[in-house]
Amino acid sequence: MAKKITKPTDEVPSSVRLKRFFKDERTCFALGLILVVLSIYVFFSFASYVFTIDADQSQVEGAVQSASAKNLSGLKGAKFANLFINETFGVSAFLLLIFPFVLGLRLMQIKTFSLWKSFLLPAIFLVWSSIFFSFFFYDFYKDSALSWGGAHGDFLSVWLFDNIGWGVVLLLFVSLVVILIFASSKTLPFIKKVFTFRRKVTPQEAENQKAIGTEIVPEEWVEDSAIEVDLSGNASPEEFQPIMPKEELQEEEEKSDADELEIDIVKPEDVEVGSLDYVLKTQGKYDPTLDLSHYKFPSLSLLKTYPNENAPIVNMDEQNANKERIVNALGDFGIEITSIKATIGPTVTLYEIVPKAGTRISKIRNLESDIMLSLAAKGIRIIAPIPGKGTIGIEVPNEKPQIVSMHSIIASKKFQEEEKMALPVAIGRTITNEVFMFDLAKTPHLLVAGATGQGKSVGLNAVITSLLYKKHPAELKFVLIDPKMVEFNIYAAIEKHYMAKLPEEENVIITDSTKVIQTLKSLVVEMENRYELLMKANCRNIIDYNEKFVNRQLNPEKGHRFLPYIVIVIDEFGDFIMVAGKEVETPIARITQKARAVGMHMILATQRPSVNIITGVIKANIPSRMAFRVQSMIDSRTILDATGAQQLIGRGDLLYSGGNDVTRVQCAFVDTPEVEDIVNHISKQQAYPSAYELPEPPEGGESDISGVASVDLSKRDVLFADVARWVVSQQIGSTSAIQRNFELGFNRAGKIMDQLEKAGIVGPQKGSKPRQVLVQDDFMLTQILESLI
């Protein structure tokens, strides 16, 4: 019986190709350039027409046949200008050029303006100004060849005057005010300020106001002149201006004696002066970016572009040959296929097959090596079955892998328009060529592993770069720890913009193991300080806290401050584990356990994903993993809890696990010159006076971090595991509760509680209150217990 194969349609539809063509950056840039140049050309044509109309009018109207014209754009340009100026909108026709010019700049990605404003406002002013020039200036230009209002303005101004007479003046004035109100947010406050009632007061009245606390008037102003006081309650000291000389003041005082005036002090309704609501109404929301308000994010031009960076390279001969080999290889083992289709990615193609009914999936999974031999591939990966689909996937490397540029990722619509993620990280493209992104704030920590030279360092640079393109220096700080001393040194130039470090520390990039321990201790203190601020503000997380602070609901005089996110990146943290052991692992465990809510997130990277480096405690607190190619199946299981990382092809090929499904991603390539250009762009701008200062680390040893003086977990109580399971299941961290349930003495129960704290299962002691249980489920607890064996 012949094998039935459903051949997929591999040809890309013409409509899709056309859509890709118009979305291509080169096409957009070319169209934008054409619009900008055309707008400039027409501008000079219009401008030249204004000055040469008298000489060219006879030729424009066809009265004289001549091949030459005084207009800079020639006779055709003069006729084109005449159409839009004299025969239509007059000199207001220049406003027609704003929208195409702005649209051109936007397509070229040189400058971004609001398209609807660039179209709507010039269009409205075009009509208004045409009528304005015709109505008020017709007598001045009626004998000239140039019509200031154009035929459109002349017709409408005459029609309006015939119907409403001199009401045209009122109509033009009111319409102008309405237009300006919607065109600029400053118009309405200016109008209110103009109509605010002000009156002159004498020095005695000013003293009375100052006495009752309504206005604070400087003494020297009262002595030398009368003061103009804003009775609305919104005046600032700058608005107090002298209005009359001292000689005239006596006459004014005499008049005021005869007839005293009552002064009504108007305050904002239902708002107590000096309250936080009063500050919000008078000063507006707090802007954390105000200190660096002129900061400009890096532009896309700093990143390299590559050919076909937005679309995969399709080689139909290669795809058809691979399909045939897969079918034949499975057929040799008696496995029939009913359909097979290919999804082409930048470096890997996914072949989805549907086996004949009754075929055991495990049988196909066991043929991985045979299919690899048949395809002569570097390494294939079988997904049996694909989650959410009734198919089996076979991932095969492409003969000519495609470079995924960082430019294509940052310039993508998905990244540019992302607004919901607190810390958006874009690292590459999936096997379906879609931009792959995740929110580091929800991750909330990331574990990165991969053998030397497989793209791990490039991946970390991609993470940092994507954050630099999205977050203002006021919103994000980095702590970079680099034992190799060369990976992160390039970021030292943006110390005063994006970096956090210890007080009086010279080097912002941490390389020494002693400094690492001090920095991690300091980060633990920072975490605890932030939790204290959240507790005082009655907030559960950094988002709620910062929102309250921005709305001026928190008082800076009580210690509140805007909290930037802190991203801690430790490259090759295995070196520090080998040197410092628990002194490094304990603060890392504490930060990964509870720092998420206060906006502190950790990225740990290592090239040795062994169980003594990636311990159970670390894995339990970092559910998100990024695995580049590793040497063995055991290493893959250590980092991902699944196989597959050993079959990656290297050069940025990675597997990302967010806790559930595993996604294959080709990491974007960002090389050192690109990072240097980005850093130089940032470092040349105005910066803060210094780097973000972390608190002083506590003096002493390990006990300062864990809260336990000298607990040796190698000498755990025999009931330690049973107590730990009970504490986690009941979510009760109480020594007295352990005493009652296990019938233990106080001293023994207290020692077990100290051991639970040292292991990271419960938090530090809080007076008479029960301790916080840091472990939430049995899986996490099992990981911790296994790491202690």
DSSP letters spanning 102-147? HHHHHHTTS----HHHHHHHHHHHHHHHHHHHHHHHHHHHTTSSS-
Q: Which residues are 615's β-sheet partners?
A: none
Q: Are 392 and 415 in contact (CB under 8 A)?
A: no
State pLDDT tens for residues 226-262.
334 343 344 443 443 444 444 444 544 444 444 643 4
Per-residue pLDDT for 356 more than 50?
yes
Predicted confidence at residue 591, as pLDDT, reads 93
More confident residue, 249 or 153: 153
Predicted confidence at residue 127, as pLDDT, reads 86
More confident residue, 608 or 657: 657
Q: Which of 335-349, 368-382, 572-586, 735-749 has the highest mean pLDDT?
A: 335-349
Predicted confidence at residue 708, as pLDDT, reads 55
Q: Are 119 and 79 in contact (CB under 8 A)?
A: no
Predicted confidence at residue 215, as pLDDT, reads 43
**Residue whose structure tokens are 């409205």:** 124
Predicted confidence at residue 111, as pLDDT, reads 66
**Residue whose structure tokens are 């605890």:** 528
Please give the DSSP secondary-structure letter assigned to residue 510: B
Per-residue pLDDT for 327 more than 70?
yes
Predicted confidence at residue 405, as pLDDT, reads 92
Q: Are strands 662-667 and 653-657 parallel, antiparallel or unpaired?
A: antiparallel
Per-residue pLDDT for 222 more than 90?
no
Buried b (16+ CB within 10 A) or exposed e, 304-321: beeeebbbbeeeeebbee
Q: Which two tokens stand for residue 114?
A: 């609001």
- Rounded mean pLDDT, 163-179: 85
- Rounded mean pLDDT, 716-733: 91
How many CB atoms are located within 10 Å of the residue 70 CB?
16
Over the Cα atoms of the chain, what is R_g?
Answer: 36
Per-residue pLDDT band for 163 (boundaries 50, 70, 90) equals confident
- Rounded mean pLDDT, 603-628: 87
Averaged confidence pLDDT in the chain: 80
Q: Are 496 and 489 in contact (CB under 8 A)?
A: no
Predicted confidence at residue 8, as pLDDT, reads 42
654 Cβ contact partners less than 8 Å away, ≥ 6 residues apart? 427, 428, 450, 455, 459, 626, 627, 628, 648, 664, 665, 666, 667
Predicted confidence at residue 596, as pLDDT, reads 93
Predicted confidence at residue 503, as pLDDT, reads 82
- Work out whether the CA dihedral 692, 696, 700, 705 comes out positive or negative: negative
Per-residue pLDDT for 784 more than 80?
yes
Closest CA to 174 of 164, 153, 122: 164
Per-residue pLDDT for 534 more than 60?
yes
Closest CA to 302 of 406, 204, 375, 389: 406
More confident residue, 719 or 660: 719
Predicted confidence at residue 735, as pLDDT, reads 84
State pLDDT tens for residues 257-276.
446 434 444 444 555 555 66
- Please give the model's pTM, rounded to 2 decimal places: 0.58
- State the SS3 of 45-113: HHHHHHHHHHHHHHHHCCCCCCCCCCCCCHHHHHHHHHHHHHHHHHHHHHHHHHHHHHHHHHHCCCCCC
**Which phi and psi angles does 500 have, rounded to 5°?**
-125, 145
Per-residue pLDDT for 221 more than 70?
no
Predicted confidence at residue 568, as pLDDT, reads 97
In this structure, of 176-185, 191-200, 394-403, 758-767, the range with the lowest mean pLDDT score is 191-200
Chain centroid offset of residue 592 CA: 22
What percent of the chain is predicted at pLDDT more than 70?
Answer: 81
Predicted confidence at residue 112, as pLDDT, reads 64
Per-residue pLDDT for 3 more than 50?
no
- Work out whether the CA dihedral 87, 91, 95, 100 comes out positive or negative: positive
Cα 551 to Cα 545: distance, rounded to the nearest angstrom:
10
Predicted confidence at residue 313, as pLDDT, reads 76
Predicted confidence at residue 681, as pLDDT, reads 95
Predicted confidence at residue 656, as pLDDT, reads 95
State pLDDT tens for residues 394-435.
888 888 888 899 999 999 999 999 989 999 999 999 988 899
More confident residue, 47 or 524: 524
Predicted confidence at residue 601, as pLDDT, reads 96
Predicted confidence at residue 303, as pLDDT, reads 93
Predicted confidence at residue 197, as pLDDT, reads 52
In this structure, of 22-26, 150-154, 525-529, 731-735, the range with the lowest mean pLDDT score is 22-26
- Rounded mean pLDDT, 182-188: 76
Per-residue pLDDT for 5 more than 60?
no
In this structure, of 181-185, 292-296, 554-558, 782-786, the range with the lowest mean pLDDT score is 181-185
Return the H-helix or E-strand segment holding 200: strand 198-201
Per-residue pLDDT band for 519 (boundaries 50, 70, 90) equals very high
What percent of the chain is predicted at pLDDT more than 90?
Answer: 27
Q: Which two tokens stand for residue 627?
A: 């695995």
Predicted confidence at residue 368, as pLDDT, reads 80
CA 224 vs CA 70, 228, 256: distances in Å: 64, 13, 18
Strands of 560-637 (E only): list them: 565-571, 600-606, 624-627
Predicted confidence at residue 416, as pLDDT, reads 92
Cα 582 to Cα 729: distance, rounded to the nearest angstrom:
27
Predicted confidence at residue 233, as pLDDT, reads 41
Q: Are 733 and 762 in contact (CB under 8 A)?
A: yes
Predicted confidence at residue 252, as pLDDT, reads 47
Cα 616 to Cα 607: distance, rounded to the nearest angstrom:
17
- Rounded mean pLDDT, 502-522: 87
Cα 283 to Cα 547: distance, rounded to the nearest angstrom:
16
Per DSSP, the three-state class of 733 is: strand
CA 299 vs CA 296, 418, 674, 675, 680: distances in Å: 8, 17, 11, 12, 12
Q: Which two tokens stand for residue 588?
A: 């890392």
Q: Are 629 and 649 in contact (CB under 8 A)?
A: yes
Cα 757 to Cα 707: distance, rounded to the nearest angstrom:
8
Per-residue pLDDT for 277 more than 70?
no
Per-residue pLDDT band for 64 (boundaries 50, 70, 90) equals low
